[in-house]
Structures are given as structure tokens and as C-alpha cells.
Amino acid sequence: MITRYSYSPMIETGAVVREITVSAGAPEPFTLTEDGGFLLRMDEKCRVYGLGEAIRGINKRGWVYTSWCSDDPFHTEDKRSLYGAHNFLIFDGEVRFGAFFDLPGKITFDLGYTDSDTAVIKPESLHLDLYIITGDTLKAIVSEFRSLIGKSYIPPAWAFGYGQSRWGYVTEKDIRDCADRYRDAGIPLSMLYLDIDYMDSFKDFTVHPERFPDLKAFAQEMKARGIRLIPIIDAAVKREAGYSVYDEGHEKGYFCKDADGEDYVVGVWPGMSVLPDFLNPEASKWFGQQYKALTDLGIEGFWNDMNEPALFYSERGLNDAFKEIKDLEEAPLDALNFFGVRDTLVRLQNSEDDYKRFWHDTPQGKFSHYDVHNLYGYHMTKSAYEALCDLLGEPPLLFSRASYIGAHRYGGIWTGDNSSWWGHILQSLQQMAGLNMCGFLFSGSDIGGFGGDCTRDLLIRWMSFALFTPLMRNHAAFGTRSQEAFAFGDTEVFRHIIELRYRLIPYLHSAFEKAAKEDGMYFRPLAFDYEDDEIAATVEDQLMVGDSLMIAPIYVQNAVARHVYLPEPMTQIRMHEGEISTEELKEGWHYIPVPLGDVVYFTTSPIPLAEPVVNTAESDGNN
Ligand code: MIG
């Protein structure tokens, strides 16, 4: 059951697709605090699930989170915000219910951080719709919530293949070499991602004329080898007279404006740029049509980046900063002045002052960006999805960095700039649980880690987990050590793991479709399947995948075994050097050896494995 309480919402966010009548009275079981917060006393056993992409445990109790879409490349445990704003959570205590706080602005979830027995959820200002969702089971609460927010995006079947990406591939040759090395190693590969360097001067919907002299022919050549090219599109548009996307958008008034009605100018990769007003339906539609420049070249998938929106600086902020620094230059230099100089520039990045200084022109009125910040990436995804379905005649592969609940109907998300750290394997597993509750089924993390240098053992362990994530993409930052499956000498070990992914696709794909069509979860914490099992409820490093599979990856450096909890008797499946063996195990705790390169998972009923696919240049394009 869903009960809705309404507190003069500012704008309809579009997250909800079902009409629910507003209830009067108190938002039970919360009590409303004087300063507009929602308070709940949590009993000792109460666990808290949800919050989508948010980091830390599957049980979110004990920390504080702020929904504020943020470009932050350091996902350390002390962070409160990442790229997504996913305001749905479930309290699982003596009282059990779900709650969705539907508002476009900032909101903080103090889940037993200030006082371990109290949750306080505090929107910056009390303009929101609150949905309280009840159900007999945790799964029922999730599916009830999902019926409220609409069906999850389903990508094309080929998107379940393995993809390689790297910020640092610059030319057609870099991409072809990568494809060749995968082929030479006999490792299947379905997608190669193009990062910002394929563009001409970082201009969206352009292709660098020397680096990719004939992208259409190249895309065709790759597709004939079973590999799709997936280019990146950034949110901001370079301000450059003569660049048609800028000229047209400017002329039609489709970019976000300052209080005086001038385009608000921000600095991102292309230098001085402007921001498409995705909250204006006409502007959004227009931006979507620009993808045609690339679909005309045979492109069928995209990833959308920098759409928090991430800002390095703004023209206005930069001018002010230079003035401040000039003033400090005259003052006697001491440590404080020095830090003042340094911080003046650092503060420009993703500055809330900027977010307050530009405006959206929506059918529901004009809003300062700050007030609707969390909707920007969502609307960019919607813009791309709707246009691409039209242009391609079928859904594209599409995923985004920033998101709000509702965006799950139009694309997937990846978890952004993680690092080549062991802890980020576990972090990614835990994020998948929260994301699935919020409808973001097509997700994954940069395999091997984005920032920092990856090692062979880290990549092996990471892939052994990520072969179960719907989006399986190896991606790394510019300047980091190469971390492709061929980068560490011996390629056999990676071939076996990636082949296993392809062998599991029939199962994984149908589990995914079932979750999407039935408002279910592809990844579930054990607590969701074994509600009466007190041990299952505490397991933070295993997940159920589909109806009959459970994973328990290794995420500790040098570990060659781990404890695994079986809530019921299961079959252990072990892949060792490409060979599969099985063993029946009793319920309870097991200490399972998992030497580097073995993949071990568990099933409750037999699941089919496809024949191995091998990468050959003559592939029929279906792998
Ligand atoms: O400011 O396009 O998260 O995946 O490689 C960095 C370059 C911009 C951030 C994305 C990352 C991508 C990178 N981008």
C-alpha cells in the first residue's frame, strides 16, 4: 500500500507515474519536527536499506547521506554524496516500511549518525511529496515502490556483452589495436567505448577529423567484428560561434540563463561552455535530436557524462576569483593568505554559488538550478533515450553518470570515478543492492577501478565479481596504468572469466528482463530472500542474482579463500581454467577456497550455460 503526504512541492519531478491521492494527517510512522524534518525512532534491530548509489554498507544505518548530485572522483568512506539522488529507503525494524522523498533539491538522511537510535530526514526546505510504502515482505515493498515509479530501462541484448573503455584511447588506431589485442588473446568483446578525445575540441556531436577520419566506415568495420562503438556525450556545449549546436541552441534560447537572461557560461572540458536546459521540454527534445549526427554513422549506444552538471568553474566565478587573488597579492603573504589564494580557485569547482546563478525555464515555471539540481542528469537521460528510440527504431544502449529516481526508465547508470582499490570491489557490490531497489537495474562500476593503478590480481578479482553485473565495462582514467584484459601478460585467466560471462548471459539476461518486467530486483541482499534468517540479514558481502544464483566474491588482497553463508543447501559451481565443476553444500557457514583465477558461485536450482563464444575477427556480430 502507498500513502502520499504532500508538502507544497515546488515542481513535479516526474519520478512517479501513478496517481496517488494525498492523505491528510501526520506522515506516520515519522513525526514531523519543528524545523521540517522527518523523525523516526529506530529499535535496536532496525536495518535501513536503499538510497541507491550511496556508498557504505548494504545496511545504511549509522551514517549520514545527502542527496546532491556531485562529481566527486574520490569515493572514500567519509563521503555523503555521489552522482545520484535516490531518495528511497526501507526501514526494517519492528515497524517495516519504505519511504520515498520526492523533491528536486537537497535532502539529508541522518540514519542513526547523530543519535544511533534516531533517523532524521531533513529536506533543505519542506517542499516535497512523501510516499510511505508498506507490504508484507521486503520484496513486496520494493515492487510496490517500483510500481509507483515505472518500469526500468531494458538495454539491447548485445549490451550484456563485455566492454572495454579507457580515457586515453585517442585515435581510430588506438581503438583498433585494442580490438586486435582482444582478438589475438581470443577474448570476446562486444563494445569499445570512445571517451572525450574522439570529439573535435570536446564539442558534443562532432568527430575529430584526423583522429577518426571516417567514423562511419570504422563503426561498420568494428560491428562486423561483433564490436559496437559507444561514444561519450557530455552535458555542456562549447560556446563557439560557427559550431552549429551552439549557434542553434543559443538562437532558440535553449541554454540555461542567468538572472538577466544571458546564457550562463561555465568552464568544462571544451573551455567556456553553456548548459542545455533539459528541464525545458523543447530544449530537451532539440538536444536529443543532435544524437542523429552519430546515429547516422551507425552508432547505437552512448554514455552521458558530466551531467550533475559538473562545472570546473564559471566565467563569473573565475573573474571574481582573479580579483580576489589580485587583492591577496597586495596583502602581506602569510599562510592564511596563501591558502586563501589556493582555495579561491578550488572553490570554483561545482560551486553552489553557480548553481544558484542560472535558471531553468520549465512548463511549471522558472526555477533556479540550485532548487532543482538533482533533476538535471535525469532529464539529460530522458532527452537522449526518447530521441534515440526514435532515431534507431529501438532502445539504445544508454547510461548516465548523474541520476534521480525516474531516470531508471530511460537508461542505466555507472557508478562513476571509483579507484583501483580492493575496497571498491565490495563497495560496488553494496551499491548494486541499493541501486536495484531504486529501479536502476542496468548498472555496473568501472572494472579495475577508474583512478589509480590497477594490478593483475585486483583485475582478476574485480572481474570475477563484475561478470555478474548487467553493465560489464573495464574503464580507467587518463594517465593510469593500462588495465585491459591483455595488459598483464598472461591473458588466459581473463579469457576464462570473460568467457564465463558470455556463457552465463542467457541466465543473467533473462533474470534481468524478469526483474525489469516484474518490478523486481536483479541483485538482492540475502535478507530479501531469507527474511526469517537472522544471519542472512547481516551478510554484507554476498548477493542473490536472479532467482537461483548467489555470489560471494573475493575482495581482499592476497585472500585465497573466504567465508560464505548458505541460507539453504546450494550447489557450488567452480570455474577453474575454463572447466566447470560442481559440489553440493549444506546450509550454513563454509570456508571456501577460491584461488586467484577460479570463479565460484552458488545455485539453488540448475542454471543453463551457453556454449563458449570466442572472439574471432569473422564473428557474426552477435557476440
Ligand atoms: O572530468 O571523459 O566519470 O568516466 O573517463 C572527467 C573523461 C570526465 C569523468 C567520467 C569518466 C571519464 C572522464 N570524465
461-508 tens-digit pLDDT: 999 999 999 999 999 999 999 999 999 999 999 999 999 999 999 999
The CA-atom distances, in angstroms, between 510 and each of 30, 160, 237 are 39, 11, 38
Distance CA(433)–CA(49), nearest Å, equals 9
How far apart are the CA of 352 and the centre of ligand 1, in A?
A: 21
Mean pLDDT, residues 272-295: 98
pLDDT at 620 over 60: no
Per the domain annotation, does 42 fall within a domain? Answer: yes
Out of 53, 172, 300, 417, the active site residue is 417
Q: What is the mean pLDDT of residues 151-173?
A: 98
Q: What is the 3-state secondary structure (H, E, C) of 178-247?
A: HHHHHHHCCCCCCEEEECHHHCCCCCCCCCCCCCCCCHHHHHHHHHHCCCEEEEEEECCEECCCCCHHHH
- Cell reading at 74: 574520490
Q: How far apart are CA 440 and CA 404, in angstroms?
A: 10
Q: Cα-flanking dihedrals φ and ψ of residue 284, to 5°?
A: -65, -45
Is 616's pLDDT higher than 80? no
The atom number, within ligand 1, closest to the CA of 232 reads: 2
193 CB-side CA count, 13 A: 29
Q: Catalytic annotation on 371?
A: no
Per the DSSP assignment, residues forming a β-bridge with 590 are: 564
Share of the chain above pLDDT 90, in %: 95
Does residue 289 register a pLDDT over 50?
yes
Catalytic residue check, 305 = yes
Atom of ligand 1 nearest to the CA of 268: 1
Q: Which atom of ligand 1 is nearest to the CA of 478?
A: 5
Band of the pLDDT at 334, cuts 50, 70, 90? confident
The CATH number for 135's domain is: 2.60.40.1760
pLDDT single digits (tens) 89-144 = 999 999 999 999 999 999 999 999 999 999 999 999 999 999 999 999 999 999 99
Q: Is 11 helix (H, G, I), strand (E, B) or coil?
A: coil
Does residue 558 surpass a pLDDT of 70? yes
Cα(398)–Cα(304) distance, integer angstroms:
8
Going from the Cα of 90 to the center of ligand 1, the distance in angstroms, rounded, reads 32
pLDDT > 80? residue 357 = yes
Ligand 1 center–CA 305 separation, angstroms: 7
Mean pLDDT of the 30-36 span: 97
Q: How many angstroms does the Cα of residue 359 sit away from the middle of ligand 1?
A: 25
Q: Which of 195, 308, 371, 541 is catalytic?
A: 308
Q: What angle do CA 408, 414, 419 make, to 5 degrees?
A: 155
Phi/psi of residue 533, each to 5°? -100, 105
417 given a catalytic annotation: yes
Per-residue pLDDT, averaged over 153-176, amounts to 98
Residue with cell 588482497: 557
Q: Cis omega (within 30 of 0) on the bond before 29?
A: yes
Q: How far is it between the farthest Cα atoms of the chain?
A: 76
Average pLDDT on 155-159 reads: 98
Distance CA 225, CA 382 (A): 31
Rounded CA Rg of the chain: 24
| Residue 372 in domain | no
Domain hosting residue 11, numbered range? 2-149
Please give the Cα distance from 463 to 451 (Å, whole number): 17
The total number of residues written for the chain in this structure: 623
Beta bridge partners of 303: 232, 399
pLDDT (average), residues 512-537? 98
Residue at 569 is within a domain: yes
Q: C-alpha cell of 99?
A: 519511504
10 Å Cβ neighbour count for 171?
15
104, 11 contact by CB (below 8 A): yes
Q: For position 577, which CATH number holds? A: 2.60.40.4040
Q: Is the pLDDT of residue 274 over 50?
A: yes
The pLDDT value recorded for residue 339 is 87
Please name the residue ranges forming H helices in 396-480.
Answer: 423-437, 456-466
Lookup: cell for 228: 559496437
Pick the closest to residue 433 from 458, 452, 415, 410 (CA basis). Answer: 415
Q: 234 is written with which cell numbers?
A: 557530455
Query: Hey, is 622 helix, strand or coil?
Result: coil
Place of cell 517495516: 96
Distance CA 263, CA 275 (A): 8
What residues flank ligand 1, with Cβ below 6 Å?
167, 195-196, 232, 305, 401, 416-417, 450, 475
Cα separation, 478 vs 483, in Å, equals: 12
Last residue of a domain, one of 149, 179, 195: 149
Question: Number of structural domains, the chain?
Answer: 2
| Domain assignment of residue 422, yes or no | no
Q: Which residue has the cell 591483455?
A: 486
Percent of the chain with pLDDT over 70: 99
On whether residue 542 sits in a domain, the answer given is yes
Please determine, for residue 333, whether its predicted confidence score (pLDDT) is greater than 80. no
Q: What's the grid cell of residue 463? A: 572481474
Mean pLDDT of 577-582: 98
Nearest CA among 507, 428, 414 for reference residue 465: 428
Residue 617: the pLDDT is 53
Which of 149, 166, 184 finishes a domain? 149
Q: Give residue 278 CA to ligand 1 midpoint distance, Å.
A: 20
Average pLDDT for the chain: 96
Which of 110, 263, 277, 305 is an active site residue?
305
Indicate the burial class of 24 (C-beta count within 10 angstroms; 0-12, 13-18, 19 or more): exposed
By DSSP bridging, strand 237-238 and strand 271-274 are antiparallel
Q: Ligand 1 pocket test: which of 201, 305, 308, 403 has the largest number of ligand atoms within 8 Å of its C-beta?
A: 305
**Domain-embedded: residue 243:** no
Domain assignment present for 182: no
310-332: pLDDT as tens digits: 999 999 999 999 998 888 888 87
- pLDDT at residue 163 in the model: 98
Last residue of a domain, one of 149, 179, 208: 149
Element (H, E) at 496: helix 492-517
Q: Which pLDDT belongs to residue 623? A: 42
Q: Has residue 129 been placed in a domain?
A: yes
